[in-house]
Amino acid sequence: MANHQKNEANEMKKGEVVVVMVPFPAQGHLNQLLQLSRLISSYSYTYNVSVHYVASFTHAHQAKLRVQGWDPLLQPNFHFHHFPTPHFHSPPPNPNASVQFPAHLESSFEASLQLRHPVAALLRDLSRTARRIIVIHDSLMGSVIQDVASIRNAESYTFHSVSAFSIFLFLWEAAGKPALNLKEVKVKLLEDIPSLDGCFTLEFLNFIATQHQFKKLNSGNIYNTCKSIEGCYVDLLEGLEIYGGKKQHWALGPFNPVTKMTTPLDTNDNNKSKNPRHRCLEWLDKQAPMSVLLVSFGTTTSLTGEQIKELAIGLERSKQKFIWVLRDADKGDVFSSSSGEGRRAKLPEGYEERVGGRGVGLVVRDWAPQLEILGHSSTGGFMSHCGWNSCLESISMGVPIAAWPMHSDQPRNTVLVSQVLKVGLVVRDWAQREQLVAASTIEKKVRRLMASKEGDATRKRAAELGVTTRRSMDEGGVSRKELDSFLAHITR
């Protein structure tokens, strides 16, 4: 009897499909694949899958510490794997660099490539008991998962962490801009697309090229987007034969939780979270609906002292309420003490006390729960660097964007947000990226978004797109159908 039960348990285990996530070690990338893990693991019993998330000790801890909307440690079918990587230099960011790409992180990127052998060992170990191994890897980690090709029951899928709009333009241009049937996909390509000048360092462009060589190994492509947002660009990607032939594409986003806070949190003890709420959320509870501008430039941007001063003055003069998340870009190791506490940005004398005392603004210098802020009913705008993670969180919460691109895909995301989707405006045009943005310009842009008829119309469009995006994740919604299609495919 005991042997029969043991054999039965082994057969059940053998029938399981194991999904292994291999993220790139930068916050926006870590978070997206952790949130995709949440989505897939929520259907684990329906499709008999388990999810494994692979990273270095440092970056796994970073991802766990900052995740919003769920607790991965409470999921019985979700597992972290922490592997050591070689020591890497973790310098502070340089806000005065001519190219604002976070070059100070490049040593941590290179160190992450040493995960290849421990990842291969893990995959081989899992493959002994699983029916199939599904590796979902960041497009920038292709070399790390290359040994998938030698494992009989394993296949890989490339996750693209940027918008379909941006990745299409990048791949289309790299392929020499082949002719497209634009009538069939009902899209018009814009003529004033920003170039990639100033978006990356030469070293990182070489890093991208090296990783993209491994795309031929994949069995399909995954995007953190929704067809109701970028359906035509997903269609264009499906038509490009640049992966060694046509492959399947799935738009599974938004990966982030899409529950929007419509009223302030109840103060009843039964409704309080076990974890204390961030003070900025309590401050938001006291503000009028859609009256607050969130100002945050992500985890890879550091403004110069002069630009911080101009931004501070512009925000105050706009007379609009704001939450400003003022912190330097992450170091490669966010827990490292080798560089001390890091720079504490200097504001005009008495600034925080003045805006705080009048109830006009709140300056937050630590980690802030961006998704919860965007989902709060009092938030009516988001001044952002336009990283795709931030764009999609803002879109899914129905919040319009004041776009201030800094590097990478952000200039092109700005075009998507402001010209294609029309749910935002531009604070600084990419062509003027080397110029200081004056306080007077910031003041005008903030008022335009938060206190004008044009801003109200933009906010209405953003709210409508937010509703459509959130509904896409419901039963029968376009993203839910995509997720069901992907899960059915990998468990076939």
Q: Which residues are catalytic?
A: 29, 138
Letter for the amino acid at 277?
R
Phi-psi region of 381 (alpha: psi -120 to 50; beta: other; left: phi over 0): beta
Compute the radius of gyration of the chain from its Cα atoms: 23
Q: For residue 205, give every residue at least 6 positions away whose Cβ sits within 8 Å of its Cβ, in sequence order, or none.
A: none
> HEC string of the chain?
CHHHHHHHHHHHHHCCEEEEEECCCCHHHHHHHHHHHHHHHCCHHHHCEEEEEEEEHHHHHHHHHHCCCCCHHHCCCEEEEEECCCCCCCCCCCCCCCCCCCHHHHHHHHHHHHHHHHHHHHHHHHHCCCCEEEEEEEHHHHHHHHHHHHCCCEEEEEEECCCHHHHHHHHHHHCCCCCCCHHHHCCCCCCCCCCCCCCCCHHHHHHHHHHHHHHHHCCEEEECCCHHHHHHHHHHHHHCCCCCCCCEEEECCCCCCCCCECCCCCCCHHHCCCCCCCHHHHHHHCCCCCCEEEEECCCCCCCCHHHHHHHHHHHHHHCCEEEEECCCCCCCCCCCCCCCCCCCCCCCCCHHHHHHHCCCEEEECCCCCHHHHHCECCEEEEEECCCHHHHHHHHHCCCCEEECCCCCCHHHHHHHHHHHCCCEEECCCHHHCCCCCCHHHHHHHHHHHHCCHHHHHHHHHHHHHHHHHHHCCCCCCHHHHHHHHHHHHHCC
Letter for the amino acid at 180?
L
Please state the φ and ψ torsions of residue 5, each to the nearest 5 degrees.
Answer: -65, -40
The CA distances from residue 294 to 92, 272, 313, in Å, are: 25, 24, 16
In contact, 280 and 362? CB cutoff 8 Å = yes
Letter for the amino acid at 77?
N
Letter for the amino acid at 442?
I
Q: Please name every residue paired with 132 in a beta bridge, in sequence order, or none if there are none.
A: 17
